[in-house]
């Protein structure tokens, strides 16, 4: 159905559903975030969103909220209702029993094994189904889930903060603070919304980060340190968090057993993985993270990790913060050498978008 066919009220209710879905960002893995709104007689009678894996799906929450008012209502939902048994029964069954008159949905389920089944079941039951309102917005909500469910790999975002001339630190390694407070707050919200963050051991040694989320009622992501030689200091703050089991040191297969035991004694995990050119190989790491239910990964640096991720073509999205400062040629480049000798070999960035972040510029795009 073309965008011109959607009424203003269709778009308005789907925008409400999208906002509801975002409230659970980072909390539903391996499930997608979904929002739902029930409307009857031009009034919202029920709302809901999927809060956590194993919990009620968005449409079920909305049905419970609406109660008897759900009968004869229209459901606005960001993602196709499920028609299979998982941790919860099929949502299509509940919608039919509740007497829903119509379903207006943003996008189909990206899982090729189930896509369209929910719509077909609803239509067979006599429920009118319209699909595609605010489709781009609704697809963006589930971009990480779509990759995970189709390729069994996490969706990877590369986040970097740099000066206008692309430097992440001064010549002596000083990087505090390149980005402004507004940008740093956005990063904490991003950590709240992803399953895992990744840094190299060089960043741990230089900055001693905690990689925690510091917003009220925030959720700490898994913390992954790439450390091929297991050289991380035992005093590193990342090994001494209140939830130490959420720290993983990804290393090679021929490292010190004593150092491994010392790290594990602190509560952190050590994952021995294959190396590629002396560095922890990205794809085995990502496959293991996916097998652990990690759907979204954010790489936070440094320049060597960023370069290897780009070269290995594992980055899906970039988020770069540019501060209104210049460090010049003595500063550290935000991405190390990629082996590119000609402009036509450069890595293209698609769907570029820029916005202000306090005094900084926040640029997003897709690789």
Report whether 265 contacts 234 (CB < 8 A).
no
Please give the mean pLDDT across all residues of the chain. Answer: 93
- Note the pLDDT tens digit of each residue in 103-140: 999 999 998 878 999 999 999 999 999 999 999 999 99
| List of residues 6+ apart from 5 with CB closer than 8 A | none
Work out the pLDDT band at 3, boundaries 50, 70, 90.
very low
| List of residues 6+ apart from 20 with CB closer than 8 A | 35, 36, 37, 47, 48, 49, 58
Q: Is the pLDDT of residue 4 over 70?
A: no
| List of residues 6+ apart from 106 with CB closer than 8 A | 14, 17, 18, 77, 78, 79, 131, 132, 133, 134, 135, 137, 138, 139, 141
Q: What is the DSSP letter of 272?
A: E
Query: What's the whole-number mean pLDDT along residues 296-318?
Result: 94
Work out the pLDDT band at 7, boundaries 50, 70, 90.
very high
Note the pLDDT of residue 267. Answer: 95
Phi-psi label, residue 2: left if phi above 0, alpha if psi -120 to 50, beta otherwise: beta
CATH classification for the domain delimited by 8-147, as one of 3.40.140.10, 3.20.20.70, 3.40.50.300, 3.30.930.10: 3.40.140.10
Considering only CA atoms, which of 159, 173, 239 is closest in space to residue 206? 173
> CA 12, CA 139: separation in Å to the nearest integer?
17
Vertex 343, ends 339 and 348: CA angle to 5°?
85
> CA 103, CA 17: separation in Å to the nearest integer?
13
Work out the pLDDT band at 219, boundaries 50, 70, 90.
confident
Within the chain, all domains assigned CATH 3.40.140.10 are found at 8-147
Considering only CA atoms, which of 39, 44, 31, 125 is closest in space to residue 82? 31
> CA 32, CA 144: separation in Å to the nearest integer?
8
> CA 244, CA 254: separation in Å to the nearest integer?
23
Note the pLDDT of residue 109. Answer: 95
CATH code: domain 153-366 is: 3.40.430.10
Residue positions annotated with a catalytic role: 59
Note the pLDDT of residue 279. Answer: 93
Q: Is the pLDDT of residue 343 over 80?
A: yes
- Note the pLDDT tens digit of each residue in 242-288: 888 899 999 999 999 999 999 999 999 999 999 998 999 999 999 99
Note the pLDDT of residue 2. Answer: 42
- Note the pLDDT tens digit of each residue in 280-293: 999 999 999 999 99
What pTM, to 2 d.p., does this model score? 0.90
Neighbours of 1 (CB within 10 A): 12
> CA 327, CA 22: separation in Å to the nearest integer?
37
Within the chain, all domains assigned CATH 3.40.430.10 are found at 153-366
Find which of 36-50, 111-125, 173-187 is predicted with most confidence, using mean pLDDT.
36-50
| List of residues 6+ apart from 302 with CB closer than 8 A | 168, 199, 200, 202, 203, 206, 332
Work out the pLDDT band at 235, boundaries 50, 70, 90.
very high
């Amino acid at each position: 159905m073309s965008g011109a066919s959607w009424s203003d009220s269709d778009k308005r209710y789907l925008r409400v559903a999208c906002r509801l879905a975002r409230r659970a960002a980072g909390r539903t893995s391996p499930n997608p975030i979904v929002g739902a709104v029930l409307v009857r007689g031009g009034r919202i009678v029920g709302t809901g969103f999927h809060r956590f894996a194993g919990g009620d799906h968005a449409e079920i929450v909305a049905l419970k909220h609406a109660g008897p008012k759900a009968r004869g209502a229209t459901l606005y939902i960001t993602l196709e209702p499920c028609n299979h048994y998982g941790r919860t029964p099929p949502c299509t069954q509940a919608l039919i029993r509740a007497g829903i008159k119509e379903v207006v949905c943003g996008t189909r389920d990206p899982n090729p094994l189930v896509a369209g089944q929910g719509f077909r079941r609803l239509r067979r039951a006599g429920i009118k189904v319209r699909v595609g309102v605010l489709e781009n917005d609704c697809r963006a909500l589930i971009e990480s889930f779509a990759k995970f469910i189709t390729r069994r790999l996490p969706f990877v975002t590369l986040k970097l903060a740099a000066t206008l001339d692309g430097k992440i630190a001064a010549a002596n390694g000083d990087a505090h603070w390149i980005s402004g407070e507004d940008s740093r707050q956005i990063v904490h919200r991003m950590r709240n919304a992803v399953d895992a963050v990744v840094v190299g051991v060089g960043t741990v040694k230089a900055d001693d980060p905690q990689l925690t989320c510091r917003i009220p009622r925030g959720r700490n992501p898994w913390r992954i340190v790439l450390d091929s030689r297991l050289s991380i200091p035992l005093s590193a703050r990342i090994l001494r968090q209140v939830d130490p089991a959420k720290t993983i040191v990804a290393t090679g297969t021929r490292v010190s057993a004593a150092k491994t035991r010392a790290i594990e004694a602190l509560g952190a995990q050590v994952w021995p993985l294959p190396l590629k050119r002396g560095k922890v190989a990205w794809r085995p790491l990502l496959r293991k993270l996916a097998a652990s239910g990690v759907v979204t990964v954010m790489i936070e640096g440094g320049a060597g990790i960023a370069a290897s991720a780009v070269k290995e073509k594992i980055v899906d999205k970039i988020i770069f913060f540019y501060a209104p400062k210049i460090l010049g040629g003595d500063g550290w480049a935000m991405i190390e050498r990629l082996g590119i000798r000609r402009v036509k070999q450069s890595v293209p960035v698609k769907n570029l978008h820029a916005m202000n972040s306090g005094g900084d510029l926040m640029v997003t795009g897709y690789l």
